[in-house]
């Protein structure tokens, strides 16, 4: 698809400014929030869930950086600005594709392993086995995503219509290589949804049975951790389902999307789905961390109080009694709501 030009697009100045603000909001909030969560998980004991959360928060920090060039282009009437460089365009697109797919894969591994541990509570998932799976997937992503550039022909150029980089493929480019690349890219986005949804349902059923069997003697820490992962996967499904639906429809019959393309002539809706949903998901994740994880929330409050005490030239006591009571109430209400569902 060839690059478009701003004069060909019916631009709405107000919407452009709003989209630019949203892109920078992802960076302003998402980067420090995920970085703080990354530091928290880095200091925790190395377990399966903390390791996966560490990987997820690390990738979310980088994902929240990616919308910054898009926001700059929105503020500059969709001119290329940073995307004017072919090298930057290629680097940004490769980073965006790899980070998006890897982040989805991390969520899938987290949800599947949690469902497995709930179904088989006396078994353990090997950390080494999970690390090997992640390493193999990362290797495949790097090889296949960069393989299309080995011929020196394939590249990305800026598209003002998409306010991002778009693929440009010469007619003499190897069809087999391009087919593998397109198939793997689409599968990387779509395939993880199915195990994520299935494992989420299995986890809900397992928690319900576990609670009904043990009642008040149930391990609440285990239940709360499982509920956190369920909510985490639900946020992912909510944010990524629209993109998956459009990809499936476009892969089956592109003519079905023609009415949408006519209505969304400036691609505001589709650009939001394809380029803003992923950083939105990465920005919402730390909110869930702070909401569900008491120790992380206490560490954040302590850090803020310490900063305020330093600004005032005095020490502030770390009083967390009220915070702990509030956390217990939130946990019990969230547990009952999930089991009710």
Helix (H) or strand (E) holding 159: strand 155-159
Report the distance separating Cα 175 and Cα 284, nearest Å: 39
pLDDT tens per residue, range 150-190: 555 556 778 888 888 876 655 555 666 666 666 766 777 77
| pLDDT higher than 90, residue 2 | no
Q: Tokens at residue 312, please?
A: 């005032």
Report the distance separating Cα 320 and Cα 311, nearest Å: 21
| pLDDT higher than 70, residue 84 | yes
Residue 332 makes CB contacts below 8 A (sequence gap 6+) with none
Report the distance separating Cα 332 and Cα 48, nearest Å: 24
| pTM for this prediction | 0.78
Report the distance separating Cα 2 and Cα 103, nearest Å: 29
Query: Per mean pLDDT, which of 82-96, 183-197, 221-235 is the most reliable?
Result: 82-96
| pLDDT higher than 60, residue 120 | yes
Q: Confidence band (pLDDT; 50, 70, 90) for 262?
A: confident
Report the distance separating Cα 10 and Cα 261, nearest Å: 13
Query: Pick the residue with more confidence: 322 or 80?
Result: 80
Residue 202 makes CB contacts below 8 A (sequence gap 6+) with 115, 118, 119
Q: Confidence band (pLDDT; 50, 70, 90) for 35?
A: very high
| pLDDT higher than 60, residue 192 | yes
Count of CA atoms in the C-beta half-sphere (13 A) of 324: 5
Q: Determine the pLDDT at residue 335.
A: 44
| pLDDT higher than 70, residue 22 | yes
Q: Confidence band (pLDDT; 50, 70, 90) for 322?
A: very low
Q: Determine the pLDDT at residue 327.
A: 47
3-state secondary structure of 192: coil
Q: Confidence band (pLDDT; 50, 70, 90) for 236?
A: confident
| pLDDT higher than 50, residue 27 | yes
Buried/exposed 8-46: b ≥16 CB within 10 Å, e otherwise = ebebeeeebeebbebbbbbbeebbebbbbbbebbeeeee
| pLDDT higher than 50, residue 270 | yes
Closest by CA position to 163, among listed 19, 28, 12:
19
Query: Pick the residue with more confidence: 333 or 58?
Result: 58
Determine the average pLDDT of the residues in 139-150: 72
């Amino acid at each position: 698809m060839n690059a478009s030009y701003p004069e060909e697009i019916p631009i709405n100045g107000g919407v452009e400014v709003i989209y630019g603000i949203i892109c920078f909001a992802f960076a302003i909030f998402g980067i420090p929030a995920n970085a703080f969560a990354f530091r928290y998980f880095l200091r925790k004991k190395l377990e399966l869930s903390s390791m996966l959360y560490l990987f997820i928060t690390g990738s979310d920090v980088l994902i929240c950086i990616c919308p910054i060039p898009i926001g700059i282009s929105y503020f500059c009437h969709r001119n290329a600005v940073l995307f004017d460089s072919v090298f930057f365009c290629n680097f940004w697109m490769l980073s965006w594709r790899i980070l998006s797919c890897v982040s989805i894969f991390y969520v899938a591994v987290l949800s599947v392993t949690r469902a497995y541990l709930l179904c088989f509570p006396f078994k353990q998932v090997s950390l080494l086995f999970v690390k090997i799976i992640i390493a193999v997937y990362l290797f495949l992503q790097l090889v296949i995503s960069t393989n299309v550039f080995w011929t020196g022909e394939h590249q990305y150029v800026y598209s003002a219509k998409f306010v991002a980089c778009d693929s440009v493929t010469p007619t003499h480019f190897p069809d087999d290589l391009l087919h593998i690349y397109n198939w793997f890219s689409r599968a990387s986005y779509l395939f993880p949804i199915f195990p994520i949804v299935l494992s989420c349902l299995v986890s809900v059923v397992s928690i319900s049975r576990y609670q009904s069997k043990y009642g008040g003697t149930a391990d609440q820490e285990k239940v709360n951790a499982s509920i956190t992962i369920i909510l985490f996967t639900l946020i992912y499904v909510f944010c990524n389902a629209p993109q998956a639906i459009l990809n499936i429809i476009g892969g089956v019959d592109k003519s079905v999307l023609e009415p949408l393309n006519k209505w969304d002539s400036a691609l505001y809706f589709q650009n939001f789905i394809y380029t803003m949903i992923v950083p939105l998901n990465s920005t919402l994740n730390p909110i869930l961390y702070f909401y569900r994880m008491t120790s992380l929330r206490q560490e954040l409050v302590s850090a803020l109080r310490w900063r305020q005490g330093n600004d005032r030239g005095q020490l502030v006591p770390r009083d967390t009694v009220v915070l702990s009571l509030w956390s217990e109430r939130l946990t019990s209400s969230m547990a009952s709501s999930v089991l009710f569902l």
